[in-house]
Amino acid sequence: MHNIRPMNNEFMREAIALSIEKMEAGEGGPFGAVIVKDGQIIGRGWNCVTSANDPTAHAEVMAIRDTCRRLGTFDLSGCEIYSSCEPCPMCLAAIYWARLDRLFFAATRADATDAGFDDELICSELSKEWKTRKLPVEQGLQSEAQKALKLWKNNPDRRSY
């Protein structure tokens, strides 16, 4: 059961302000995010795709990286993320991987599409089996790769995530 707290408008306004400030500074697209723990902003992120030449440098991913670095953990349970826009599939996956408790967003995916950011191809591709996606994919050396997974599974010192 999730702990239900209402959205905090000031945290959302901070995410939106970051989206505008950093876009106007030429750092990337119009997206910002903040991560909150115990009523305090712990981490901030904004879109740095074009300034960092990194297609994964979306606001939510950058906020997760900042927060993990500050807290010294990869598990952000107990934290919430405020995003200026509904996250793309990559960012939504990162939010799940980081184990954030809750997501709040302002603009919608349709708003982003209207501004020229269209995630529809990725969204539709994710539901397909890898063999039928538009991106050509080939699998090979499965048994060799399985060795690493077996070593991991049998390692008593592994740090699960």
Residues forming the active site: 60
Looking only at the bridges linking them, the beta strands covering 102-107 and 79-85 are parallel
Burial class of residue 161 in the structure, from the number of CB atoms within 10 Å of its CB (0-12 exposed, 13-18 middle, 19+ buried):
exposed
**Whether 56 contacts 122, CB under 8 Å:** no
Sign, Cα dihedral of 73, 76, 79, 80: positive
Position 20: which residue type? I
**Whether 5 contacts 39, CB under 8 Å:** no
- Give how far Cα 76 sits from Cα of 61, 68, 96, 118, Å: 13, 7, 10, 28
Q: Copy the structure tokens of residue 104.
A: 């709040």
Q: CA triplet 48, 49, 55: central angle to 5 degrees? A: 140
